[in-house]
Amino acid sequence: ALPTVDLAFPTPTTTRLIRTTTTTTQPSTTAAVEIDVDCEFDADGRVYLWGALLSTPTTEPTFYAFGSPTPDFDEYAVAAEFLAWISEHLTTGDDTTASWFHYGSTEPRQLHRIVGSAAHEILARGVDVLTDTIRPDFYGPTGYSRNQLAPAAGAHWRADGATGADTYAWIDAARAGD
Tell me the pLDDT tens digit for each residue of 155-175: 877 777 677 788 888 888 888
Coil, strand or helix at 34 = strand
For helices 106-115 and 75-91, what crossing angle results, to 10°? 110
- CB-based burial label for 28 (10 Å; 0-12, 13-18, 19+): exposed
pLDDT exceeds cutoff 70 at 101: yes
- 154: left (phi > 0), else alpha (psi -120 to 50), else beta? left
Residue burial 91-123, b: 16+ Cβ < 10 Å; e: rest: eeeeeeebbbbbbeeebbebbbebbeebbeebb
pLDDT at 71 over 60: yes
CA distances from 112 to 37, 47, 65, 96, 167 (A): 14, 12, 19, 23, 23
Q: What is the pLDDT of residue 82?
A: 98
Mean pLDDT of 104-126: 95
